[in-house]
Amino acid sequence: LARGIQHTAVRQAHRKYEPDFHDKYGNLVLLGGAAVFTAVWGYVLTQAGIEWGLSPVGRITPKEWRE
């Protein structure tokens, strides 16, 4: 088994290296994903109308009790 693994490693090392998809487009995909992530969260945080008050004091008022 070890000899087969070693033989495969040597064969791959001697092979001419051709860039695969990740070598060609990896950084581009990463940057594109980061841009989409930032745009979506930027929209959510600024446009969604979320009240960013972390303290509930003064916001929660008891409803009138109905009999």
Q: Domain residues of the chain, as ranges?
A: 1-48
Per-residue pLDDT, averaged over 32-60, amounts to 80
pTM: 0.45
| Res 40: pLDDT | 95
Per-residue pLDDT, averaged over 32-52, amounts to 87
| Res 37: pLDDT | 97
CB 59 within 8 A of CB 53: yes
Domain 1-48 sits in CATH 4.10.51: yes
